[in-house]
Amino acid sequence: MLKQESVRQPDAESFNRLVLENQERIFSLFRRMVSSHDEADDLTQETFIKVYKNLSKFRNDSSEYTWIYRIAVNTGLNYLRRQKVRQTIGLDSVDLVADSAGQEYNEFTNSALKKALKKLPSKQQMVIILRTYQGLAFKDIGRLMDSTENAAKVNFSHALKNLRKMFEEMGVSYESV
């Protein structure tokens, strides 16, 4: 963890350290949201550019990790909202019909899961990723999303229910998982 004083100065060395310390978490957060490595890389870069621009505004109210994570979550939510708009106007389509031909069972289930995740409302998708993949507590998720712990829990419950419904529509059987 960097010292607060070094973070305030937007010098190359402290910024580079900040990137190296947080890149893995930030990249994996975005990698869960998008289909390709390049898209996740773009979002990671966008996050760290925002971090650089706002280094002087960083205060001691939270840890650097929380502060960077909050920027990443906002960047991710904005991305998901843009994607929803594209889906709504038909530029991108997420077909819920999973193609099982030529795929191993796990491959098929993973593909179905990715498709189903993309169909979730942006906040539900973000909560599922933060809780299940990133292992964050609901209290932290609420804080990161400018919301409450309870709101995060409600979003999580709804997300799981929706995923289950979509899995059923795609014909994924839970017994074999």
In the complex, which residues of this chain contact another protein (CB under 8 A)?
12, 15-16, 19-20, 23-24, 27-28, 31-32, 41, 44-45, 48-49, 52, 106, 109-110, 113, 128, 131-133, 138, 153-154, 156-158, 160-161, 163-164, 167, 174, 177
- Judged by beta carbon, residue 42 or residue 74, the one nearer another protein is 42
Q: What is the DSSP letter of 177?
A: -
Closest C-alpha to 99, from 11, 171, 17 = 171
Min dist CB 102 to another protein, Å, is 19
Q: Which is nearer to another protein, 49 or 94 (CB)?
A: 49
CB of 13 vs another protein, minimal distance in Å: 11
Q: Please report how close the Cβ of residue 58 comes to another protein at its closest, in angstroms.
A: 17
Return the DSSP state at 165.
H
Place of tokens 């530029």: 91
Look at residue 65 and give its three-state secondary structure: helix
Output the CA–CA distances (angstroms, integers) from residue 111 to 8, 94, 107, 116, in the order listed: 43, 12, 6, 9
Q: Smaller CB distance to another protein: residue 86 or 161?
A: 161
Nearest approach, Cβ of 24 to another protein (angstroms)? 6
Q: Which is nearer to another protein, 9 or 60 (CB)?
A: 9
With contact defined as beta carbons under 8 Å apart, do 136 and 28 qualify? no
Q: Cβ neighbours of residue 53 under 8 Å, at least 6 residues apart?
A: none
